């Protein structure tokens, strides 16, 4: 590589790194794959008004350059799904995975990795691509912009027969719980016996039990894989809308993509065996009702108690959850979630679903919504909670939805 190409490559690293958000200079240097700090500094200076120093030692692309970001994601137009734990990779992570190896000969199954799938589809990487994901809004949005095969699929269901053994590579990112890994890795084995599997693995201090859970997951993988390698902190995630509001409620605003994970890569044995017993979680029936970009999810299977309020707060008077973790005790107690961090309890969820269905069919106008809520035959406290829930004034502060 001559000096000019080398310089261009390092400049490209700087630009790609900054596309994922603001970075400390040290992180920027780390993103430049060994380029010396003084060279990175020189490049920053030569990028002139394209980059700005947002605070001491924190760098960002100027807005005009962000708009020209490499792949404007269709998924950035929708809010996150707290039920399906939609944490999407940053552009920087998608690029790192793109650069892992030459994908040209790979038939790739993207299992619960819609953002990465979109990145690959847009750049036409791989011999063929299929996305399998449960989120109906995600599969609908991506089907509108991408012509590959996109399948709305629940990993708890048997794999469609036509998919078995069709792939040379599966890239999956399950919700970070051990019981999910057993199931998702079994589906990966069915999709690509003898193929390569890339799977995210949560960090050791994610929760008190996570160091042990990682060991268990890796041990189980060793029985079916001929080799395994772990790329530490290779994956970086955008903050989903529901977490954005939960962090903001806690007073943490302006946080960049803080969540990191390892990427485990392994080659499945052709003789690998299916898991003897799989005990996927029960299947709570979450119904989604949307109001503009706000996504509401109500678990209609929770028992009904018409004596209690239709809609109430459970988090010490707050509508917003302290964290999106499934292990969060309060999350166990709520049956209404939103893409903006709400966690509420309905004593009659089926009735609530009916009411929300009715309201969502009305024209989206905040004055008429107030009137509609006022006319509902429900207790006054529930009306107040409903008003707060449906207030449409959050989207601006979120910025990207």
Interface contacts to ligand SAM, rule CB under 6 A: 81, 84-89, 112-116, 133-135, 138, 153-156, 173, 175
What span, in angstroms and rounded, lies between the C-alpha atoms of 224 and 228?
10
Min dist. Cβ of residue 135 to ligand SAM (A): 4
Min dist. Cβ of residue 183 to ligand SAM (A): 8
Nearer to ligand SAM, 32 or 155 (CB): 155
Min dist. Cβ of residue 155 to ligand SAM (A): 4
Q: Which two tokens stand for residue 40?
A: 């990175």
Min dist. Cβ of residue 87 to ligand SAM (A): 4
What span, in angstroms and rounded, lies between the C-alpha atoms of 131 and 108?
9
Min dist. Cβ of residue 131 to ligand SAM (A): 9
Q: Which two tokens stand for residue 83?
A: 């039920």
Min dist. Cβ of residue 104 to ligand SAM (A): 21
Nearer to ligand SAM, 116 or 247 (CB): 116
Nearer to ligand SAM, 112 or 309 (CB): 112
Nearer to ligand SAM, 59 or 120 (CB): 120
Nearer to ligand SAM, 175 or 266 (CB): 175
* Residue nearest ligand SAM by beta-carbon distance: 112
Which residues have a Cβ under 8 Å from the Cβ of 282 and sit 6 or more positions away?
A: none
Min dist. Cβ of residue 41 to ligand SAM (A): 31
**HEC secondary structure over the chain:** CCHHHHHHHHHHHHHHHHHCCCEEHHHHHHCCCCCCHHHHHHHHHHCHHHEEEEECCEEEECHHHHHCCCCCCHHHHCCCCCCCCCCCECHHHHHHHHCCCCCCCCEEEEECCHHHHHHHHHCCCCCEEEEEECCHHHHHHHHHHCCCEEEECCCCCCCCHHHCCCCCEEEECCCCCHHHHHHHHHHHHHHCCCCEEEEEECCCCCCCCHHHHHHHHHHHHHHHEEEEEEEEEEEEECCCHHHHHHHHHCCCCCCCCCCEEEEEEEEECCCCCCCCCCCCCCCCCEEEEEECCEEEEEECCCCCCCCCCCCEECECCECECCCCCCCCHHHHHCCEEECCCEEEECCCHHHHHHHHHHHHCCCCCHHHHHHHHHHCCCCHHHHHHHHHHHCCCCHHHHCCC
Min dist. Cβ of residue 395 to ligand SAM (A): 21
Min dist. Cβ of residue 252 to ligand SAM (A): 20
Beta carbons of 262 and 230 less than 8 angstroms apart: yes
Nearer to ligand SAM, 183 or 218 (CB): 183
Nearer to ligand SAM, 156 or 391 (CB): 156
Nearer to ligand SAM, 54 or 151 (CB): 151
Nearer to ligand SAM, 309 or 341 (CB): 341
């Amino acid at each position: 590589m001559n000096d000019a190409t080398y310089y261009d490559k390092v400049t490209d690293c700087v630009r790609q790194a900054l596309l994922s958000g603001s970075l400390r200079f040290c992180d920027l240097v780390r993103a430049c794959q060994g380029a010396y700090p003084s060279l990175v500094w020189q490049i920053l200076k030569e990028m002139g008004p394209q980059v700005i120093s947002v605070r001491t030692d924190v760098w960002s692309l100027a807005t005009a350059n962000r708009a020209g970001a490499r792949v404007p994601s269709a998924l950035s137009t929708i809010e996150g799904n707290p039920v399906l734990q939609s944490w999407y990779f940053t552009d920087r992570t998608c690029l790192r995975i793109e650069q892992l190896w030459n994908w040209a000969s790979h038939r790739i199954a993207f299992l619960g990795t819609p953002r990465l799938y979109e990145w690959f589809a847009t750049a036409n990487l791989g011999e063929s691509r299929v996305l399998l994901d449960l989120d109906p809004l995600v599969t609908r949005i991506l089907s509108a912009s991408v012509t590959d095969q996109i399948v709305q699929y629940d990993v708890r269901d048997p794999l469609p027969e036509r998919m078995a053994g069709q792939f040379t590579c599966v890239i999956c990112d399950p919700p970070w719980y051990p019981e999910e890994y057993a199931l998702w890795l079994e589906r990966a084995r069915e999709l690509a016996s003898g193929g390569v599997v890339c799977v995210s693995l949560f960090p050791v201090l994610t929760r008190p039990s996570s160091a042990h859970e990682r060991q268990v997951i890796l041990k189980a993988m060793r029985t079916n894989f001929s080799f395994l390698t772990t790329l530490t902190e290779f994956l970086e995630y955008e903050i989903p809308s529901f977490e954005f509001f939960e962090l903001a409620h806690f007073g943490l605003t302006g946080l960049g993509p803080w969540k990191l994970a390892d990427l485990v890569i392994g080659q499945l044995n052709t003789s690998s065996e299916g898991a003897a017993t799989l005990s996927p979680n029960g299947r709570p029936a979450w119904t989604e009702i949307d109001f503009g970009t706000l996504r509401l999810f109500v678990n209609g299977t929770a028992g009904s108690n018409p004596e209690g309020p239709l809609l109430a707060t459970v988090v010490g008077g707050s509508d917003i959850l302290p964290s999106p973790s499934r292990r969060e005790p309060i999350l166990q107690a709520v049956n209404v979630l939103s893409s903006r961090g709400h966690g509420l309890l309905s004593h009659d969820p089926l009735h609530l679903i009916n009411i929300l269905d009715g309201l969502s069919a009305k024209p989206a106008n905040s004055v008429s919504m107030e009137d509609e809520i006022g006319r509902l035959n429900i207790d006054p406290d529930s009306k107040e909670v409903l008003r707060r829930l449906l207030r449409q004034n959050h989207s601006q502060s979120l910025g990207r939805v």
